[in-house]
């Protein structure tokens, strides 16, 4: 046989909970950033973003991928959000963080596969997020 399947760990999964959808986005960003383990610099940064997507799950995935992209372009990491406007299909605001000199780990992308966002019966919010590492 010319090929065989090998086991490896290529994915990272987070379950995130919060009291609101806006808080859920911020907690997911913090979880991702903490796992990456940035080597923080001293320069404070704020990067604006605008995400339009078909539903809350896509808003979350697109938001985290935008943070990853901007982080790599500008050598920054973000551990907070300032949200100016939010709905089920839209979020606009700024990523807040610092410059970085490196990181312990890398996330290639946040995937739609297995991702979900839901409001629970008690009014709390939960998200499952799968990342390609």
pLDDT for 6: 52
pTM of this structure? 0.92
The whole domain housing 66 covers 23-132
Q: What percent of the chain lies above the pLDDT cut of 70?
A: 92
Cα(92)–Cα(129) distance, integer angstroms: 20
Would residue 62 count as lying in a domain? Answer: yes
Cα(23)–Cα(125) distance, integer angstroms: 9
Number of domains in the chain: 1
Strand arrangement of the beta sheet that strand 90-103 belongs to? 38-52, 90-103, 76-86
65, 109 contact by CB (below 8 A): yes
Would residue 113 count as lying in a domain? Answer: yes
Would residue 123 count as lying in a domain? Answer: yes
Cα(74)–Cα(96) distance, integer angstroms: 13
pLDDT for 10: 66
| CATH number of the domain bearing residue 105 | 3.55.10.10
pLDDT for 2: 60
Would residue 60 count as lying in a domain? Answer: yes
pLDDT for 133: 87
pLDDT for 108: 95
Would residue 84 count as lying in a domain? Answer: yes
Low pLDDT (below 50) residues in the chain = 4
pLDDT for 126: 95
Q: Quick one: which of 21, 27, 2 has its CA closest to 123?
A: 21
Q: What percent of the chain lies above the pLDDT cut of 90?
A: 86
Contacts of 20 (CB under 8 A, 6+ apart): 125
pLDDT for 95: 98
Would residue 13 count as lying in a domain? Answer: no
Would residue 127 count as lying in a domain? Answer: yes
Cα(63)–Cα(86) distance, integer angstroms: 12
């Amino acid at each position: 046989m010319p090929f065989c399947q090998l086991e490896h760990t290529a994915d990272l999964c987070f379950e995130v909970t919060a009291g609101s959808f806006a808080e859920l986005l911020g907690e997911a960003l913090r979880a991702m950033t903490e796992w990456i383990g940035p080597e923080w610099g001293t320069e404070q940064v704020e990067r604006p973003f605008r995400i339009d997507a078909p539903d809350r799950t896509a808003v979350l995935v697109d938001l985290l991928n935008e943070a990853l992209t901007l982080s790599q372009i500008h050598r920054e990491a973000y551990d907070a959000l300032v949200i100016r406007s939010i709905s089920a299909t839209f979020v606009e605001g700024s990523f807040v963080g610092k410059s970085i000199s490196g990181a312990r780990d890398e996330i290639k992308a946040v995937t739609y596969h297995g991702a979900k966002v839901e409001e629970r019966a008690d009014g709390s919010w939960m998200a499952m997020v799968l990342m390609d590492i």
